[in-house]
Amino acid sequence: MKTNDIVAVTFLDHVESPKVSKAEKFTVFGRVIQVTSRSVIVGAWTYANKRRKCDHNTNTYTILRSCIEKVDILVPQED
């Protein structure tokens, strides 16, 4: 997984509930904005032009790498 790949990331997320609950799996689809040692940031509403930076019109999701269960690379980064 590299910056600008189009991906589907399945990850565990917390659940707030009055009862004891297990973490739930969710999937976010989008363009990889940044990969660090601790997290992956995926933009789900990004500009088609990869040179455009994230702004108020962009939705991003920061996912802890320890919570990621699966990554499907839908469209690899074009060199």
Q: Give the model confidence (pLDDT) of 21-76 as tens digits.
A: 999 999 999 999 999 999 999 999 898 888 888 888 889 999 999 999 999 999 88
24 Cβ neighbours under 8 A, 6+ residues apart: 12, 13, 15
For the chain, give every domain's residue range: 6-75
32-46 pLDDT per residue, tens: 999 999 999 999 989
